[in-house]
A and B are shown apart, each in its own frame.
Chain A
Amino acid sequence: MNMIQALNSALDVMLERDPKVLIFGQDVGYFGGVFRVTDGLQARHGLTRCFDAPITEGGIVGAAIGMGAYGLRPVVEIQFADYIYPAYDQIVSEAAKLRYRSAGQFTAPLTVRSPYGGGIFGGQTHSQSPESLFTHIAGLKVVIPSNPHDAKGLLIAAIEDDDPVIFLEPKRIYNGPFEGWRDRPVSSWAGHPQAEVPEGYYAIPLGQAAIARGGEAVTVLAYGTMVHVALAAAAHCGIDAEVIDLRTLVPLDIETITESVRKTGRCVIVHEAPLTSGFGAELSALVQERCFYHLEAPIVRVTGWDTPYPHALEWDYFPGPERVAEALRHALSGEAV
């Protein structure tokens, strides 16, 4: 399965298993979503299980909070993460804090799915990576899969989770594991080991990273599309990097990170979001706090620039394998950036 089919399968399984699960969002009903993730679900499960929502992201998340508080498990789609901002108040002030402010009387067990990230010539309103706007908020979980197998298992775990989960889908790798080379042919998921997706139910617990590539020379922390870019970079420069796919940013698998950096003594952090206050800043602080005496080189971050996401200059913005390879070499040299 490609990632779209894997996500569709997760939703299908959960609609089948749990009558409290329902799906809504813009164009997700009859049409099946602009990325086809909900294709066929309305026909199979009925009009009220998967339906279209008005174009009001605040309304969508607000309604999902009400449903969640009632006892349902709504899964809502925000068509592009760039359009999540009208829902930010509902997510930050409400979903994230319902449990705390009511001392557990009311909870918001909802899942907010949203395609994010660039590399598709989408310009500034179809390319952003807003994950750190959510990791900063107490009470929110943030999940980002990097392959079809994980996407299905993590989405099922997110739906079953009793707290609000922001589930960001790297749209650049919906159809294949994009390595970040702008001028090379892209591959599809067909034949990829992580495209082997079981038909039925399985959950991947939130908070467990995966080692995408074992290595000794340097630890790379990445998630989403950047996992594939990091793997390509390691292959490109022949450095024996250990690439850790975080899979969930909150809760974070700090043990796997710590163990790896203590082993390699070097750390490169890669994300597509801008540098300043990005999730890499948090990772860098954690690694420094926990691995300071093991570090043999300054931690290096490779990220998008502190600019809006451009259209024509997309490939100057996108932190591709060459920039990551450069950072790997840098980490090995031990010099400050």
Chain B
Amino acid sequence: MTSASRPNKPVLSLHVPEPPRRPGEAPDFSGLILAEAGAVARPPVHAPAETLRDLPWTLIRVLDGQGRAVGPWNPGLDPETLTAGLKAMILTRTFDERMYRAQRQGKTSFYMKCTGEEAIACAQAGVLRREDMGFPTYRQQGLLIARGYPLVDMMHQIYSNAADPIKGRQLPIMYSSRAYGFFTISGNLGTQLPQAVGWAMASAYSGDDKIASAWIGDGATAEGDFHQALTFASVYRAPVLLNIVNNQWAISSFAGIAGAENTTFAAKGLAYGLPSLRVDGNDFLAVHAATAWAAERARSNLGATLIEFFTYRAAQHSTSDDPARYRPGDEAALWPLGDPIQRLKAHMIHEGIWSDGDHQSAEHEAQEAVRAAAREAEAVGTLGQSKVSSRTLFEDVFAQPDWRLRRQRQQLGV
């Protein structure tokens, strides 16, 4: 086209976001929106949403670089709660490492770790009640672990063996436990969010006192389900927490592919009129405080809160992934918000309620617990060595099987 036919504008060009650094380059965190610990005011729980519009553009933090808990969001937790939280994070990491190795040894087909993100599930497990329903993604194993769900049952599921509570139906780590407030995980991203809103609406409809909490990754916020959930949550003022775990990556895609070049994930709640917090996800105390604030709002019939937890996926996406192919190798180590376990440990040592020796014993204890559970689970069998009866293949398709399923079961000869 000649320039004369163009109405006085430069030629259009297509923008495709690219991360600041790739493998072999030094990480660059200069674009991150951060804030000093203690810098963000804590509005009253009853504050109207329209007075909270600055919160998505900053970062709620409590732990500073010296291990001190500072500012209005400090939840002032007692030593027992802190110790339990730290131990849950250590146990989660130890469990992850062991099961990752188990997959490498061919004991199962697949595994996903939550390394670097442990504070989110482990702190939230303590704020939510067990009667509340959690609608997790595959990276919230810390919820189960922090609540004392038997490690051996998690392993039975991972090994898809005869003792698997969900009968070998799902991919490893797609746990389900109604009794522990843990909704059955779907492999399809995002679907759990509108369901959590519906569960919360049911609680409100029933005049109950339960709330719901759902988690979604930064990448999956692009799904329509995310926006459907925010619409319902806002319209019906559902008592639900909608948590975005922004770990900067969605497999090989950086958060810019999910829109993070132009806004924050928390800010997506603004257009829906939802109070929206942006929180340091590697800060156990900040996670705890923000969750408690949002849960209190929900329990007071004030509706939903969107929370973006800002963190970093230190591990590979899954056992099928190799991040060295798409991001600088030392990004996790240099992540400006540090490691959640190290940060809580430093705080507890600063408070004089923890020591290096205590930490070592806690790690040792976690190793022992995981080892004992693995011994027990492997005695039942790993993937392929042990499995539920073939008859169960045809169960639970419907409450009552129809003639086709009965016939197909006969054809299989079981």
Chain A positions near chain B (C-beta within 8 angstroms): 26-27, 29-31, 34, 47-48, 51-59, 82-83, 85-86, 121-126, 275-276, 305-308, 310-313, 316-317
Contact = CB atoms under 8 A, between A and B. Distances in A.
Contact of A56 (B223, B383, B412): B223
16 contacts: A26-B250, A26-B251, A30-B326, A31-B326, A48-B16, A54-B258, A55-B190, A55-B222, A56-B224, A121-B109, A275-B408, A306-B397, A311-B160, A312-B167, A312-B169, A313-B392
B174 interface: yes
B169 A55 contact: no
B310 to A, nearest CB: 19
Given A54-B219, A54-B257, A312-B167, 19 more contacts: A27-B252, A31-B252, A34-B321, A54-B253, A55-B222, A56-B222, A121-B109, A121-B171, A123-B169, A123-B187, A124-B171, A305-B408, A305-B412, A308-B169, A308-B397, A311-B160, A312-B160, A312-B161, A313-B392
B325 A31 contact: yes
Given A30-B22, A86-B223, A313 B188 contact: no
Nearest to A48: B14
A312 B174 CA distance: 13
Interface in B381-412: 383, 387-388, 390, 392-394, 397, 404-405, 408, 412
B16 A47 contact: yes
A82 B187 contact: yes
B187 A126 contact: yes
A125 B110 CA distance: 13
Interface residues of B, number: 51
B209 interface: no
B222 to A, nearest CB: 4
Given A52-B252, A311-B170, A313-B390, A121 B110 contact: yes
Task: Report, nearest first, the 7 A-B pairs whose CB atoms are least far apart.
Answer: A312-B168, A125-B187, A123-B171, A31-B252, A54-B222, A312-B160, A121-B109
B241 to A, nearest CB: 21
B220 interface: yes
A123 B394 CA distance: 15
Nearest to B189: A55
Interface of B: 14, 16, 18, 22, 109-110, 160-161, 164, 167-172, 174, 186-190, 219-220, 222-225, 250-253, 257-259, 320-321, 325-326, 383, 387-388, 390, 392-394, 397, 404-405, 408, 412, 414
A27 B394 contact: no
Given A31-B252, A307-B393, A82 B188 contact: yes
Contacts of A123: 169-171, 174, 187
Contacts of A55: 189-190, 219-220, 222-223, 250, 253, 258
Contacts of A54: 219, 222, 253, 257-259
Contacts of B397: 306-308
A47 B13 CA distance: 12
A269 to B, nearest CB: 15
Nearest to B167: A312
A123 to B, nearest CB: 3
B324 to A, nearest CB: 11
A310 B169 contact: yes
B23 to A, nearest CB: 10
User: Most A CB atoms within 10 A — which of B251, B383, B397?
Assistant: B251
Contacts of A85: 188
Contact of A312 (B187, B326, B387): B387
B219 A317 contact: no
A155 B392 CA distance: 39
Contacts of B110: 121
A175 B170 CA distance: 25
Contact of B251 (A27, A58, A312): A27
A297 B347 CA distance: 78
Given A26-B251, A317-B393, A124 B169 contact: yes
B393 A316 contact: yes
A57 B414 CA distance: 39
A82 B160 CA distance: 21
A59 B172 CA distance: 29
Given A305-B408, A308-B397, A30 B252 contact: yes
A34 B320 contact: yes
A27 B252 CA distance: 6
A126 B171 contact: yes
Contacts of B186: 125
B188 A312 contact: no
Contacts of B253: 26-27, 29, 31, 52, 54-55
A142 B206 CA distance: 47
Nearest to A46: B16
Nearest to B185: A125
Contacts of A312: 160-161, 164, 167-169, 383, 387-388
B169 A59 contact: no
Contacts of A276: 404
Contacts of A307: 393-394, 397, 405, 408
A316 B187 contact: no
A275 B404 CA distance: 10
Contact of A53 (B18, B168, B257): B257
Question: Max chain B CB contacts within 10 Å: which of A47, A56, A125, A305?
Answer: A56
Contacts of A86: 223-225
A319 B22 CA distance: 44
Contacts of B325: 31
A311 B224 contact: no
A51 B18 CA distance: 10
Contacts of A126: 171, 187
Contacts of A124: 169-171, 187
B165 to A, nearest CB: 12
